Structure 1
Amino acid sequence: MSMIALPSRHEPRRLRRRANLRALLREHHLHPGDFVLPLFLIEGEGLRREIASMPGVHQHSIDQAVAFCGEAVRLGIPGVLLFGVVDNACKDAHGSASWAADGLVQRGIAAIRAAHPQLLVIADACFCEYTEHGHCGVLDAQGDRDDSATLENLQRQAISYAEAGVDIIAPSGMVDGMVMAIREALDAARHEKVGILSYAIKYASAFYGPFRDAADSAPQFGDRKGYQMDPANRREAFRELALDISEGADMVMVKPALPYLDLIRDVRERCDLPVAAYNVSGEYSMLKAAARNGWLDERASVLEALLGIKRAGADFIITYHALDAARWLDQAPV
């Protein structure tokens, strides 16, 4: 269909002169219901530790996490994404603490579910926080990831989360076949109702740095470029997307968000599954640092960034800004 020609005297500014007119014609809107709040769990009681490289973000003991989730519910945030941060003494070569029935995340899922049944509980499924080497799975004798052994452990982890009461499992390790392995394990264990949010398109990004402080998950040698995507590649993302959809993913994710808005748009146009975007730690920290130095208006810059992610095509955004953004939107919707 051809576009209708605009009259020669068309003046777009007529529709921008008043705030109420701009609000009426606004094409995209942010709402607290667009956000998922990442949450770092630690052992202990009554603990709330600020992460130095992520001002305003904390690690929480389970009791504190439950209270923190109450604030999320009050603000209209529909879900949380859980990560476990365990002591080094609990780490081994396989990440076995991640699938223990009484593990940190498993107890966190149960406690949050009991206190806030209306809250969607998503659990990140990976091993970098639990392995002594900091890589996302089992390593072979040459130091490469053994995907077959990793998939078996991922099935154990997924079943343990499902038994704890999780709603959604979010595999983040970029293991080939991870969605199919998890789906088969969940179905065989009669957890057919548990969904899968796949980190389908996850780049080997410099913007993950602060997260590795938060989760104590930095690799002890090498890097993760052998299994995360090259930032230079775009077409490769479509193959990753197609594989995860064919394996049974219920939702797909692009990570990071701001440097990859083109990929969010591509994914939105190529599939009809819900699309998530992860506004990652480095994206959070750079805006926070600029605001603290007086270089940017924090509210305006954060909401503009989140709106850009949504405009690109994300159905929901995983973001450390979630609570602040929800409060700001409660005061003045965007």
Structure 2
Amino acid sequence: MQNPILWYLKGMAMGAADVVPGVSGGTIAFLMGIYERLLEAIGSFSIPTLRLLLKGEYKTFAVRTDLVFLVSLFAGIAMSFITFAKLFKYLLANHEVLTMSFFFGLIIATVWVVGRRIKEWNSSTIIWFLIGAALAIGISFSGTVEGSSNPFYLFLCGFIAICSMILPGVSGSFVLLLLGNYALIIGTISDLPSAILNFDLAGIMAGLWVIIPFALGAVTGILSFAKVLSWLFNNYENSLLAILTGFVLGSLSIIYPWKKVLRSEIIHGKEKVLETMRYIPEIDTHFFMAVGLMILGAILVASIEYFGNKELR
């Protein structure tokens, strides 16, 4: 059944998740029951389907590529990016502990949701689970590289980030953080609409200089990687879900809310954190607010899972 409004809203949920380091839009798609359909729709783009477009067979092209679904979903993702980029930028800058506590709750519940889809636990799935957890923990304790506005590097960032974003359990935004370009991309997405509305030509050109190569990398990545991922799900679903469950569990060390900055430096007028230390918080009002937000995050994921399964039934 065609339901563009529902797909648009689901796209907004995916976009909101993808803005946040450590939270996966692919997981949201997975929870809402549209993940495999998304992979199949993206994977349907090929030379034969593009020939349909060139021949003017628009209706057949739209049906073959599930175009209404894709356009509705990606319109929601784009709108969510624009809407929430400023919000999350503000929340992470001014209420980091509370915001990260909410994300921590989201991820705790996601471990259970993704893990329960594993059909059989055996020695192989346990090994893949441990590999996934080790990968995430290793990433969380590694340093970030310095970013760059070089178009070729931005293309690479777009390619890698989009491949991460469509994996359930893997955060494209956190990958951008590791590549050193999270602040640049989020800042550009946040500022470009204002520059366009104010007819700020310099701001528009600066924004496009970042967005265009990043978007080209993302398009290239999603068209090439979706087919591979679809094949993996069809042939190695249990192993793939196990490594993703482990990765989600391990990423809790990334999202842990209580951290102290031990070492930082100022680069181009902005602080870059070089080293942090996790600590056990004091039991006070702020702590209980953080725990409450964790519970709220977990309830949100459980609700998405419930309504996603209800629609599938």
Q: What's the TM-score once normalised by structure 1's chain length?
A: 0.25
Q: What's the TM-score once normalised by structure 2's chain length?
A: 0.26
- Greater helix proportion: 2
- Greater strand proportion: 1
